[in-house]
Amino acid sequence: MQAKKRYLILLSAGACLVLLFSLGGIQLPAASRSRHDRSRNGYRPDQPWPHFSDPLYPFMPWDQTDTEEYNLHISPRQKRDVNMSVYKGKRCRMDSCFDFSLCQKNGFKVYVYPQQKGEKISESYQNILSTIEGSRFYTSDPGQACLFVLSLDTLDRDQLSPQYVHNLKTKVQNLPLWNDGRNHLIFNLYSGTWPDYTEDLGFDIGQAMLAKASISTENFRPNFDVSIPLFSKEHPRTGGERGYLKYNSIPPFRKYMLVFKGKRYLTGIGSDTRNALYHVHNAEDVVLLTTCKHGKDWQKHKDARCDKDNAEYDKYDYKEMLHNSTFCLVPRGRRLGSFRFLEALQAACVPVMLSNGWELPFSEIIDWNTAAVIGDERLLLQIPTTVRSIHQDKILSLRQQTQFLWEAYFSSVEKIVLTTLEIIQDRVLEHGSRSSLMWNTHPGGLFAVPQYSGYLGDFPFYYATLGHGCCDVASVSMAAQPPSAQLETASIDSPIIVLWNCDKPLPAKHRWPATSVPVIVIEGENKVMSSRFLPYETIVTDAVLSLDEDTVLSTTEVDFAFTVWQSFPERIVGYPARSHFWDSNKERWGYTSKWTNDYSMVLTGAAIYHRYYHYLYTNYLPTSLKSMVDQLANCEDILMNFLVSAVTKLPPIKVTQKKQYKETMMGQSSRASRWADPDHFAQRQTCMNKFASWFGAMPLVHSQMRLDPVLFKDQVSILRKKYRDIERL
């Protein structure tokens, strides 16, 4: 009986096992491996992806692909531990890890540690440090500093890179001012290494802020870190090329709708989305090309598609595609960011972002929805339909915004660094921070300085946006020497400000011409040329009529120029015009005063402009340029034209050509005007090139437009003409 019971029990157990197998309750080892493979290929029951004849390898959510093995053997707790080791100060914010008291006494000043002997610095990091040291934020005194920047090169923290700095942890900890990173800013472009490319920098950043490329939203600390773009070592330090949008055409006729050309990673992180691009590529208006041919061991990992992909890849020229496509795909690479982001912006090719979890560059201030299409890696197959559905007007708007953002914040290392510092300054001086409108509309946050005013209506760029007209009165600013100050020329009902810059004493009151408005005389303390552009509190109007002491203008001419300026308040409007040209023989910029139909400068000896440019001239331009002007006692008018054109990207405006432009003798002496001095002209040639070098490019813009009064030369009765006195000159 006992033996029969044992047999019955074994038989029952066997039957149960067969039943479980048949219902799928237990997987055989082969079935288990099959399911494992399917999860690696991106299939999950909660993802409603369509079925294809071949598996879609890339469709894994971005947060499931952190390592080469896709984290199949890493628990969530282990992932958290990895992240915490990268960012031990993950909870840091400005109010908890930044000492505002350091900024209260001297304002927002930045100190750069002195470079240590024997420490190698990459060219890119040297460009960053040089930009800071040449900016208005820089201080050489750590006691005055609000923010500290390391001289140790932290840009490339990939251990396999030749630029990798060893023993950085010890070197940083030994810095006397480190203070656990408090009030420090660390720049980084590359972090982690093969195969997982984590965001580990290889040292504890403590409470320091990060200005980092390819930073993830998971590790980004809002309003503390700054996301910066990935830029190449060839990226220009200053200036940079302008964007490539030449024609604002609707519809935007371009050969391709969507393009991409880049590496396809066969193994490891970054091999997901790019491996699936061939599903969308149609070789017509959607051209998405990848190549396996990179790295030393690519043939070892070569798959069945490599030869076909490589052959298709070689058929197309990347630049031709870039400049002839409406949209440019920007998928993740080994890291979240890629060089194609900046390349697309410059080319006016609307970026289609396909890098889930990437905190986009300068996201704190830039509204990327106005310049890019934010895609989802898991919805790759929907991208072509999505971009085709965007209206042509919207496409033009997106392309225009790419050009503005490129030129305002990304075209040079200098602009990237200064934008980073300005963002941090806005946090420190929160009451004087810029609005979103300032950051996202022309001329951008670098030229709209909130320390000047917190009201948009005080800037010349926002009158149209705010929907109100410009000014009804102007102040007259004159650089005067006795006795030839032509005060009677001012017809505008506002104060006349005379800057007395000569060594002679002020003349007696009875020698000054009688005027119907107050005359305010300011004696220049240093008697230098730049003092004429100081932001004097006595200038209370937005419009400034700037006159040299030897300028002769009639009241009619002043009135007409002011009328023109009211329609173009962001530009210089005036009479004496000059031009620049490129001298190919001497390979330098030239300066000419010949009267032609072409000009690029309107001299401030007889011009109207907005008083905001006094503030920019004084506070934005470096001391080196202003010192050069003061030493030469020359070129201040050229420098002002450079500044205004750099801000507006537009030429000045010349008004009616006078039949005579009198440059009088200076004073009572027989000495000729400085305009006839050959040394004076040679100095101006030198100034042109020095200024262009600092700006990184030539900002002056040529124009052939001249504005004349209505009926100026028409053969009609003189009584019908408002500015009839101009013809009599």
Q: What is the CATH number of the domain that holds 487?
A: 3.90.550.10
pLDDT in tens, 134-188: 999 999 999 999 999 999 999 999 888 888 999 999 999 999 999 999 999 999 9
User: Which percentage of the chain shows pLDDT scores above 90?
Assistant: 51
Q: What is the dihedral of CA 345, 346, 347, 348, to 10 degrees?
A: 50
Asked, for residue 233, whether it belongs to a domain, the answer is: no
Question: What separation in angstroms does the CA of 418 have from each of 100, 443, 567, 621?
Answer: 20, 15, 31, 13
Q: How many domains does the chain have?
A: 3
Tell me which of 89-98, 137-146, 633-642 is least confident.
89-98
Whether residues 208 and 272 share a domain: the answer is no
pLDDT in tens, 220-267: 999 999 999 999 999 999 988 889 998 777 777 789 999 999 988 877
Whether residues 400 and 480 share a domain: the answer is no
Whether residues 260 and 204 share a domain: the answer is no
Last residue within a domain, chosen from 184, 212, 240 = 212
Given a cut of 60, whether residue 392 has pLDDT beyond it is yes
In terms of Cα–Cα distance, which of 41, 141, 238 is closest to 646?
238
In terms of Cα–Cα distance, which of 598, 601, 608, 568 is closest to 692?
601
Whether residues 511 and 612 share a domain: the answer is yes
Tell me which of 12-16, 187-191, 373-377, 628-632 is least confident.
12-16
Q: Tell me which residues are annotated as active site.
A: 637
Asked, for residue 69, whether it belongs to a domain, the answer is: no
For the record, the structure tokens of 192 come out as: 């982690």
Asked, for residue 659, whether it belongs to a domain, the answer is: yes
Q: Which domain holds residue 193?
A: 76-212
Whether residues 491 and 627 share a domain: the answer is yes
Last residue within a domain, chosen from 386, 411, 436 = 411
660 phi and psi, to 5 degrees? -150, 140
Whether residues 158 and 281 share a domain: the answer is no
More confidently predicted of 699 and 663: 699
pLDDT for the residue 525: 66
Whether residues 171 and 304 share a domain: the answer is no
Whether residues 202 and 270 share a domain: the answer is no
Whether residues 274 and 200 share a domain: the answer is no
Q: Report d(CA 7, CA 12) in Å as an integer.
A: 9
Asked, for residue 96, whether it belongs to a domain, the answer is: yes
Whether residues 525 and 657 share a domain: the answer is yes
pLDDT for the residue 30: 40
Asked, for residue 67, whether it belongs to a domain, the answer is: no
Last residue within a domain, chosen from 212, 244, 278 = 212
Cis peptide before 195 (omega within 30 of 0): yes
Whether residues 310 and 168 share a domain: the answer is no
Asked, for residue 80, whether it belongs to a domain, the answer is: yes
pLDDT for the residue 81: 52
Asked, for residue 1, whether it belongs to a domain, the answer is: no
DSSP code for 374: E
Place of tokens 């004073």: 667
Given a cut of 60, whether residue 660 has pLDDT beyond it is no
Whether residues 196 and 293 share a domain: the answer is no
Burial 602-619 (b: 16+ CB within 10 A, else e): bbbbbbbbbbbbbbbbee
Asked, for residue 726, whether it belongs to a domain, the answer is: no
Q: Which CATH number covers residue 403?
A: 3.40.50.2000
